[in-house]
Amino acid sequence: MSRRSLRTEAIVLRSIRYGEADRILHLYTPEHGRVGAIAKGARRTRSRFGARLEPFFHLSVNLHLSRGDLHTVTSADTLAAHGRLRERADTLDAAARACDAVARLFETDDPSPAVFHLLANELRLLDGDPVHARPAAQLAFRLKLLVAGGFTPQLASCASCGESDHLSGFSGAAGGVVCTACEASAFPLSEEAHGFLVAALGRPLAEAPDAGDRALRQAERAIAETAEHHAHVHLRPLARVRRHQSGPTIRVPG
């Protein structure tokens, strides 16, 4: 392989129309982090890329490296198409938000195999069972993403004074849970929400815990504030409407 080309695994985070029939891709790779690439003629119906460059595809791509930021896709082979997650609105939305969170938190070309494998696992789970699109599972993914980025919130003791009892709030600025004495800049975090965050960190993604809606809202706020204060990234809020319903029926007439 020449030095001007690169063969790598990649997940398509985003695919943007460009020019007459091209696409600009945001790819996430295990060894080269986030990579930008152009796929020429990808929108033509007879393009050799077909649907492969749509978001959520897990690919083996060949890139022709340019001196600038945008490489050129010369070939793409599918490793996982994740076709089933595209058949439901909730899994489609969860996959889009997962890719968006990765794109926002990890926008450099620093290698991060852990992030890549976490995202690949999340897409595989969403493709396998729509139960993984529930808000609790999406929050567990975001929390693990923060950990992979080195932004683990402190949950065992007060992030300000180290006190391990009377933990009643969460402070993004302090970096974790805080006790009643230190909660000046914090928001209240219920015992259930605290338990959810601890369990979500400890369990595999496939076994993400559940919690009540109020606790999940608090957990989401804790994750969002951690990302804002420490990664300077605003994560899109989760969609909370119309979850866990069967997919719409699109009937063929006649």
Partner 1 sequence: MSTFAPPVQRLITELGKLPGIGGRTAQRLAFHLLRASEEDALALADAIREVKSRIGLCEVCFNLADGPRCRICSDERRDAAVVCVVEEPSDIIPIERTHEFHGRYHVLGGALSPIDGVDPEDLRIAELYRRVTGEPEEGRDPIREVVLATNPTTTGEATALHIAEQLREKAPQVTVTRLASGLPVGADLEYADELTLGRALAGRRALS
Interaction of residue 252 with partner 1, rule CB under 8 A: yes
Distances (CA, A) of 155 to 84, 152, 177: 36, 9, 5
Token digits for 212? Answer: 């009540």
Site stretch for partner 1 (CB under 8 A), options 65-73, 92-100, 123-131, 174-182: 92-100
Instruction: Give me the amino acid identity at 214.
Output: R
Q: Of these, 26, 27, 42, 55, which contacts partner 1 (CB under 8 A)? A: 55
Q: Of these, 5, 40, 54, 147, which contacts partner 1 (CB under 8 A)? A: 54
Q: How many CA atoms lie within 13 A of 252 on its CB side?
A: 0
Rounded to a whole number of angstroms, the minimum distance from the CB of residue 158 to partner 1 is 35
Interaction of residue 66 with partner 1, rule CB under 8 A: no
Binding marks (x or -) toward partner 1, 10..29, rule CB under 8 A? -----x---xx---------
Interaction of residue 236 with partner 1, rule CB under 8 A: yes
Binding marks (x or -) toward partner 1, 126..145, rule CB under 8 A? --------------------
Interaction of residue 106 with partner 1, rule CB under 8 A: no
Whether 42 contacts 49, CB under 8 Å: yes
Whether 19 contacts 25, CB under 8 Å: no
- For residues 207-228, one letter each, b for 16 or more C-beta atoms within 10 angstroms of the residue's C-beta and e for the rest, the string is ebbebeeebbbbbbbbbbbbbe
Phi, psi (rounded to 5 degrees) for 163: -60, 135
Interaction of residue 166 with partner 1, rule CB under 8 A: no
Token digits for 33? Answer: 């982090």
Q: Of these, 89, 147, 173, 205, which contacts partner 1 (CB under 8 A)? A: 89
Interaction of residue 168 with partner 1, rule CB under 8 A: no
